[in-house]
Structure 1
Amino acid sequence: MFSFDRRDFGPDFTFGVATAAYQIEGGQGHGRGPSIWDTFSATPGNVHNGDTGLHACNHYELWPADLDLIRDGGFDAYRFSFAWPRLIPQGTGAINIEGVDFYDRLIDGMLERGIKPYATLYHWDLPSTLQDRGGWMNRDIAHWFADYATLIAQKFGDRLAATATINEPWCVAFLSHFLGVHAPGYRDLRATARAMHHVLFAHGQAIDALRAEGTKNLGIVLNLEKSEPMTQSADDIAACNFGDAAFNRWYLDGLFKGRYPKEMTEWLAPYLPENYQADMEVVSRPLDWLGINYYTRGLYRASNVPGMPVEQVKGPLELTDIGWEIYPQGLSDLLVRVSNDYTKIPLYVTENGMAEVEGEDDPRRVKYYDDHLKAVLAAREAGADVRGYFAWSLLDNYEWAEGYNKRFGLVHVDYETQQRTPKASYRSFQGLLHNTR
């Protein structure tokens, strides 16, 4: 059990759980079009064990039981994502009515159970036909995405408690176009520079489209790290500053200051879209809230690799099963930094959790959540306006390039039988959220 009471967070604090469509839905018939993760995972060597999201957790059919788990756990909200190729199979054009009907049932099911729907428009499953046209490298994606946002607003907007445009634009752009770890798997600096700008330009266009349809409570979800130098040498401090610019400040500065950090624009100068500065007013459209996904820190030193200014190194802290350092203080530091340096709009921790090898008993995960929720309390005490916390994830699921090898869930999933079994971490949240002391 946790070492604090729900009332320590105040009466209006939102506790939720989070998932993503490709990671849990399955249901890849029913009119759904192919996504870049279907082809990326089908390519040998890209994903652990060749795993794909073909069946995942079969949430497409088992969603009523999954919503019951959220309700019974005492959670206020469910952060889910729409699958673009399920709603518009070719990315643009004809709408898949079966997809609309599925999300109608899902959202109505949340409301019937007293669960607030927190929606994300894009959690990485780009329709393959749009990748054929350049995907995030093509400026036209801003218009394709705005049209998709309009559909979401028209079909579902009046039932959504909050709507985020894009989940983790760093992953959409840098991880997927420079490091090549996620779909579409590029390792190309020009592709990276274009994707880094276009993902934020598309976000701004989608904000305009959603607002034009009357959708309220709009935001975006950034994954942020606590960037730190390996040593206090001048070279390592400079490396940390560059790493922070690439991981954090490109997105924070773009969204809230209408400009990109100089370290990055100088590095990417030959590759950025022509006259990108003219788009910055759209990039920095006002938001109602900001989501922050936090898992670990980035530890940096100067790099000897040609063309790569910095290198991330392993630190000495305790690791999760995926190899990420456990560093709760970093969450407090980030929340306070964003609040002090960037914006006073409400902040939400939209993902936080750990991969762990276990069955129903997961004491390290219980401690992880306990420590990170204390970090949220510390940030609030320091003045950060943090309004909610979403645990990642409700279910063990398809963990992208890690396949089914890593388990983040509060609820264990047997992928052969699709049996759901709540873990001790789920019971800890259940005790916290049902406890009025």
Structure 2
Amino acid sequence: MVKADFGTDFQWGVSSAAFQTEGAWDADGKGPSIWDTFAHRKGKIKRGHCPDITCDFYRRYPEDVAFVKRMHIPNFRFSLSWPRILPNGIGKPNDKGLDFYDRLIDHCLAQGIMPWVTLYHWDLPQALQDRGGWANRDVLSWLSDYAACVAKRYGDRVIHWMVLNEPTVFTGAGYFFGVHAPGLTGLRNFFPAAHHATLAMGEVGRLLRLEIPEASVGSTFSCSSIHPAGSRRKDVAAAKRADTLINRMFIEPLLGMGYPVADLKSLRGIEKYMRAGDDALLPFDFDFIGIQNYTREVVRHSFFVPYLGARIWPAKHRRVQPVTEMGWEVYPEAIYEMIKKFSAYSNIPKIYVTENGAAFPDTLVNGRVSDDQRVQYLQSHIAQVLRAKREGYNVHGYFVWTLTDNFEWSEGYHPRFGLVHVDFDTQLRTLKDSGKWYGQFLSSQ
């Protein structure tokens, strides 16, 4: 397998997120985000890790972009920090925040690297959460104002835009389970947040296309290949319900199919938050969809799980190997299965894999990180992407998660996903063997 097998138009890249890398959490006029607030609460982040500095990308971005160039990566996906640009979420922009992304975008372009910008990667301004956050329908106008601001500022240089990152995760983990910011629980928070996030993708997608007619506009979706634990009818039905929630709930309304309530009746609760005309506002003809896959999930029927009647059978309980530091089964076929699944929707023009990667127990020894497990993970997953492409499925690009080790949300700094190792005490960067391999692969003919 060499890069040329994918053709000349296939897009290769690496992805990151503002909150996980930038640090400088209160520098130069930046306002607090929901993750700043959440992470500063005792017991919310494993081992008490603090994201105030993370990788200090805000000050060290030239060094990190140099690694992107060194690995011959032509596309760099990163997100903008909403509270860095609009400290109160709305109102007067912060000039120093806007200037930072000017410098970052210009520096990428000067290095021959194409910026791919995610508008929202989970760091909602705390000032807007104080007014209800994603559960308040006003979030549509708040996000639109923010999008208009950055589109006007950067639209002359940025072509590729993504509206949201993984709405399933930030609404589910943040507004139902409470394990992510803002730490809310229950369907009364989840359903309005989910509906408003779905509406926002179309609303802001239309705005971006109006502001930047030549833009390529998409949004990204987490997805997991769902397998029943066995052939029992109850397990098969449970897997179908889990697939509906995890893989279909957010994408199908955007494609004009409505929410998949027929296959998961508990989703009917979302209809309480729909207004007249919303059915017409939900669909949007995105230029591309980003899918983000790391593993598969094996699902069993469970009478005791409300609403879903299904539960995940963790890899450790199934005693499968290998697994990552996150406890996720290494199952390369999952990415092929998800490309195939999303390709079955007839009205998605292009699919990009906008995140795929793995955390392993990396160790820096004598200036080297020999992360052979990650090399094997990337090789096997990229091979499955090639399999999908050769079979005619609609995949046009692949982005590794992630550039540098970073702050992995509620897991703190322990899981290391990066192609570049970061010593969080000294901020020393070291290119891992996986980064060297990716660079060699991308420079091959």
TM-score over 0.5 (shorter chain): yes
* Cross-structure match for 1:393: 402
Counterparts in 2 of 1:164 and 1:125: CA distance versus 1, 3 Å: same
CA shift at 1:266, angstroms? 2.7
* Cross-structure match for 1:185: 183
Q: CA RMSD in A?
A: 1.4
2:47 to 46, 49, 53: 49
Q: Over residues 328-385 of structure 1, what are the superposed CA-to-partner deviations in whole Å (9 max), with x where a residue is unaligned?
A: 1111111012112343411100000001001211000000000000010011112112
Counterparts in 2 of 1:276 and 1:223: CA distance versus 1, 3 Å: farther
Is the counterpart of residue 134 in structure 1 residue 143 in structure 2? no
1:105 to 87, 103, 106: 103
Counterparts in 2 of 1:383 and 1:172: CA distance versus 1, 3 Å: same
CA shift at 1:268, angstroms? 3.6
User: Which range moves more in the overlay, 305-314 or 157-166?
Assistant: 305-314
Instruction: Give the distance between the partners of 1:405 and 1:306, measured in 2 at CA.
Output: 30
* Cross-structure match for 1:163: 161
| Structure 1 segment 212-291 matched on structure 2, within 5 A | 212-215=210-213, 216-263=215-262, 266-270=265-269, 272-276=271-275, 278-291=277-290
* TM-score (normalised: structure 1): 0.96
Counterparts in 2 of 1:264 and 1:171: CA distance versus 1, 3 Å: farther
Is the counterpart of residue 33 in structure 1 residue 31 in structure 2? yes
Counterparts in 2 of 1:181 and 1:422: CA distance versus 1, 3 Å: same
Write the letter of the residue equivalent to 1:21: A
User: Which range moves more in the overlay, 377-386 or 272-281?
Assistant: 272-281
Instruction: Give the distance between the partners of 2:273 and 2:78, measured in 1 at CA.
Output: 35
Alignment partner of 2:249: what SS?
A: helix
Contact kept? 2:261, 2:268, Cα under 8 Å: no
Q: Over residues 69-91 of structure 1, what are the superposed CA-to-partner deviations in whole Å (9 max), with x where a residue is unaligned?
A: 10110001000000000000000
Instruction: Give the distance between the partners of 1:369 and 1:260, measured in 2 at CA.
Output: 34
* Cross-structure match for 1:77: 75
Is the counterpart of residue 322 in structure 1 residue 326 in structure 2? yes
Write the letter of the residue equivalent to 2:373: R
Write the letter of the residue equivalent to 1:250: M
CA shift at 1:264, angstroms? 6.7
* Cross-structure match for 1:176: 174
Contact kept? 1:257, 1:284, Cα under 8 Å: yes
Counterparts in 2 of 1:301 and 1:278: CA distance versus 1, 3 Å: farther
Counterparts in 2 of 1:314 and 1:274: CA distance versus 1, 3 Å: closer
2:359 to 330, 335, 355: 355
Instruction: Give the distance between the partners of 2:87 and 2:100, measured in 1 at CA.
Output: 14
User: Which range moves more in the overlay, 52-61 or 101-110?
Assistant: 52-61
Instruction: Give the distance between the partners of 1:253 and 1:138, measured in 2 at CA.
Output: 22
* Cross-structure match for 1:310: 310
1:406 to 415, 423, 445: 415
Instruction: Give the distance between the partners of 1:71 and 1:275, measured in 2 at CA.
Output: 46
Contact kept? 1:258, 1:283, Cα under 8 Å: no
CA shift at 1:122, angstroms? 0.3
Contact kept? 1:258, 1:281, Cα under 8 Å: no
User: Which range moves more in the overlay, 271-280 or 408-417?
Assistant: 271-280
Q: Over residues 41-63 of structure 1, what are the superposed CA-to-partner deviations in whole Å (9 max), with x where a residue is unaligned?
A: 11111111222220010000000
CA shift at 1:276, angstroms? 4.4
Instruction: Give the distance between the partners of 2:140 and 2:122, measured in 1 at CA.
Output: 15
1:63 to 52, 61, 64: 61
CA shift at 1:279, angstroms? 1.5
Instruction: Give the distance between the partners of 1:275 and 1:110, measured in 2 at CA.
Output: 41
Instruction: Give the distance between the partners of 1:66 and 1:421, measured in 2 at CA.
Output: 10
* Cross-structure match for 2:435: 426
Counterparts in 2 of 1:265 and 1:305: CA distance versus 1, 3 Å: closer
CA shift at 1:143, angstroms? 0.9
Alignment partner of 1:269: what SS?
A: helix
The runs of 4+ residues in structure 1 deviating greater than 4 Å are none
CA shift at 1:277, angstroms? 6.6
Is the counterpart of residue 343 in structure 1 residue 343 in structure 2? no
Alignment partner of 1:219: what SS?
A: strand
Write the letter of the residue equivalent to 1:269: R
Instruction: Give the distance between the partners of 2:345 and 2:104, measured in 1 at CA.
Output: 38
Instruction: Give the distance between the partners of 2:276 and 2:431, measured in 1 at CA.
Output: 49
Contact kept? 2:261, 2:267, Cα under 8 Å: no
Structure 1 unaligned spans of 5+:
none
Aligned residues: 433
Instruction: Give the distance between the partners of 1:321 and 1:288, measured in 2 at CA.
Output: 34
Instruction: Give the distance between the partners of 2:130 and 2:374, measured in 1 at CA.
Output: 41
Counterparts in 2 of 1:272 and 1:40: CA distance versus 1, 3 Å: farther
Q: Over residues 239-272 of structure 1, what are the superposed CA-to-partner deviations in whole Å (9 max), with x where a residue is unaligned?
A: 1111011111101211213400125763143454
Contact kept? 1:17, 1:392, Cα under 8 Å: yes
Instruction: Give the distance between the partners of 2:414 and 2:246, measured in 1 at CA.
Output: 26
Write the letter of the residue equivalent to 1:329: E
* TM-score (normalised: structure 2): 0.95
Is the counterpart of residue 416 in structure 1 residue 425 in structure 2? yes
Alignment partner of 1:384: what SS?
A: coil
Counterparts in 2 of 1:356 and 1:274: CA distance versus 1, 3 Å: closer
Instruction: Give the distance between the partners of 2:257 and 2:204, measured in 1 at CA.
Output: 17
CA shift at 1:130, angstroms? 0.5
